[in-house]
Amino acid sequence: MSARSDFPADFAWGTATASYQVEGAAVEDGRTASIWDTFTRVPGAIADSNVGDVADDHYHLFRDDVRVMNQLGVNAYRFSVSWSRILPNGTGVVNRLGVEFYRALIRELIDNGIRPYVTLYHWDLPQVLEDAGGWLARETVDAFVEYTRVVVRELGDLVTDWITLNEPWCSAFLGYASGVHAPGKQLGTRAARAAHHLLLGHGRAVAAIRQEQPAATVGLTLNLYSVRPASDSAADLDAARRADGLQNRLFLEPVLAGAYPQDVLADLGESDWFDANPATDLDEIAVPIDFLGINYYSRHTARAGHARPAGTPSANPGSEFVEFIDTGAPRTQMGWEIHPDGLVDVLEQANAYRSDLPLYVTENGAAYEDVPDASGYVHDEGRRDYIEKHIDACAEAIRRGLPLNGYFIWSLMDNFEWAWGFSRRFGLAYVDYATQARTLKKSGRWLAEFLGTVSA
Ligand code: FCB
C-alpha cells in the first residue's frame, strides 16, 4: 500500500467533472443547447430517460462543491467549460454571464488553494454547430479555435493549465459511429473524419493558447486502454492490433509522432480521405504539448469474433468483428474489468513516444451501486479499493521512472453519466438528487485520510 509520501510534494491530487454532467442551469443566463441537450431528449437514448437540465446544480452550488474538495484535501480540480454558455451562437457574441460563472468558480478554487485544470471541450458541442455539420465539418475546427481564444482571454489571468479535448475517441466513435453518445450518428468508418477534425482542432487550439498566453501549460486528454490479445493465434493478435490501433494509436501517433498509423487507416478504409487533407494538418496536430492527460478505467482483451452484417453500428467501425472477452477479473457496475496494472501499461505506452513528456492521470474511478444507510452514509468499499489500487499503480509508475505529475479521480460527486443518466454513480461524494445534498462516501473519507487532511 502506498502513501502520499511516495509521491512528489508538488504532485497534483484532484477530482474531475465535466460541464454537462454537473452544472445544470441549462437554460439560464444565456446558455443555449448543446448536442447533449438535444440527444438526451431522443426517446431511448438515455437509460433512465433523464436529462442534464439540473444535474448537480453545480452552477448555483459550486461553493458547496469547493467545500467538498476541501474536505477531501485535494489540491487540484479538473472541470470543463460549456462552449454554449460562453458563445451561445457557437461563434461570435460572448456571453458575459457565462464568463462570470467560471471566473467566480475559479476564484473560489484559488482562494481555497485548489489549482484549476480547465478542459475546453468535454463533448458538449453547441447544437448550432452540429446543425452546420458538427465535427464532420472542417469549419468546426475554426469555431473551436475562436472559442478557445475567447476562453483563454477571459480566464487566462486566473488559469494556466489547459486541456484542449477530453477523449476525442468518444466524440468521434461514440458520437458518429456507434451513436450511443451525442449527436447519435451512425456513420461507420466516416466517424474517423470527425477524429481528424478534433485532432486538428486540438493542434490549432494549442497554438492559439500559446499565442494568447505564452506561460500556458497545454495538454490533451486521451482515453487509453491497455489492450491484450485473447490468445497467440494470428486472428486474435490482429484483433488486438486493431483495437489498440483505433483506441490508442490513432490518437497517440499523430499527436506525439506526427503521423497517422497507416494500418489503422487501412482497417478503416479511410486512407484516401486522410491522404486528401493538406499535408500540413499533421504538422499542426503534432505541435508540441506540455503534457498528456490519460483517462484510464480498464483493459481490453481482444479476440476475433464473428463477422457482423455490414452496416451494424459499432464503436469499432471497420473492425466490427473485434470482441472483448470476459477474463473473469472483477468488474465495476459499468461492466468494466478492474486491472490496476493496465494503468502502468498505458502510461508506458504513451511514454514510449516522448520519454520527457509529463503525464497526468486526468480520470480514473469506478461506478458501484451505492446504497446509503439510514444515516445517509455510503459504505462504498468497492470504489475505495479500486481507487487505492490505482493509486498504488501510480506509485509503481513513478518507481519505474515515468514522469507522472498528477492523479484526478472521476468524480468529485455523483453526476449525469451520459447515456446512463443518473443510474451510474462515480462520486467520492454521494448526491441526493432530490435535495442536492452532498455527503462524502467511505471512498471520499478514505481519500481525505490518505491525503492527510484527517488523521486515521
Ligand atoms: C469518461 C468521461 C467522463 C465520465 C467517465 C466515467 O469517459 O470522460 O465524462 O463519464 O468516463
Taking a C-beta distance cutoff of 8 angstroms, is the pair 72, 447 a contact? Answer: yes
Q: How far apart are CA 21 and CA 29, in angstroms?
A: 18
pLDDT at 189 over 60: yes
Tally of CA atoms within 13 A in the half-sphere of 65 that contains its CB: 28
Taking a C-beta distance cutoff of 8 angstroms, is the pair 243, 323 a contact? Answer: no
pLDDT of amino acid 311: 76
> Of the residues 418, 422, 424, which should be mutated to test ligand 1's pocket, given the most ligand atoms within 8 Å of the CB?
418
Q: How far apart are CA 367 and CA 371, in angstroms?
A: 12
Mean predicted confidence (pLDDT) in 226-255: 98
pLDDT above 90 coverage of the chain, percent:
98
pLDDT tens readout for residues 297-315: 999 999 999 988 877 899 9
Residue 224 CA to ligand 1 center (angstroms) comes to: 12
The answer to whether the CB of 65 is under 6 A from ligand 1 is no
Residue 234 CA to ligand 1 center (angstroms) comes to: 33
pLDDT of amino acid 136: 98
> Of the residues 223, 294, 295, which should be mutated to test ligand 1's pocket, given the most ligand atoms within 8 Å of the CB?
295
Q: Would residue 167 show up in a list of annotated catalytic residues for this protein?
A: yes
Q: Which residue, by CA, sits nearest to atom 4 of ligand 1? A: 417
Q: What angle do CA 240, 295, 247 make, to 5 degrees?
A: 25
What is the pTM for the complete model shown?
0.98
pLDDT at 150 over 90: yes
Mean predicted confidence (pLDDT) in 391-404: 98
The answer to whether the CB of 295 is under 6 A from ligand 1 is yes
The answer to whether the CB of 119 is under 6 A from ligand 1 is no
The answer to whether the CB of 414 is under 6 A from ligand 1 is no
Mean predicted confidence (pLDDT) in 375-384: 98
Taking a C-beta distance cutoff of 8 angstroms, is the pair 296, 364 a contact? Answer: yes
Cell of 349: 505506452
Burial (0-12, 13-18, 19+ Cβ within 10 Å), 430: buried
Residue 455 pLDDT class (50, 70, 90 cuts): low
pLDDT tens readout for residues 336-367: 999 999 999 999 999 999 999 999 999 999 99
Sign of the Cα torsion 399, 403, 406, 407 reads negative
Q: Please list the residues that pair with 50 across neighbouring strands.
A: none
Q: How far apart are CA 251 and CA 254, in angstroms?
A: 6
List of residues 6+ apart from 272 with CB closer than 8 A: none
pLDDT of amino acid 1: 87
Q: How far apart are CA 236 and CA 304, in angstroms?
A: 5
The answer to whether the CB of 418 is under 6 A from ligand 1 is yes
pLDDT tens readout for residues 63-103: 999 999 999 999 999 999 999 999 999 999 999 999 999 99
The answer to whether the CB of 167 is under 6 A from ligand 1 is yes
> Of the residues 165, 220, 336, 410, which should be mutated to test ligand 1's pocket, given the most ligand atoms within 8 Å of the CB?
410
Residue 156 CA to ligand 1 center (angstroms) comes to: 26
Cell of 287: 505541435
Taking a C-beta distance cutoff of 8 angstroms, is the pair 53, 41 a contact? Answer: no
**Beta strand spans in 91-230 (E):** 115-121, 161-166, 217-223, 226-229
Mean predicted confidence (pLDDT) in 185-201: 98
Determine how β-strand 115-121 pairs with β-strand 76-80.
Answer: parallel
**Whole-number average pLDDT of the chain:** 98
The answer to whether the CB of 224 is under 6 A from ligand 1 is no
Q: Please list the residues that pair with 303 across neighbouring strands.
A: 323
pLDDT tens readout for residues 436-454: 999 999 999 999 999 997 7
Q: Would residue 417 show up in a list of annotated catalytic residues for this protein?
A: no
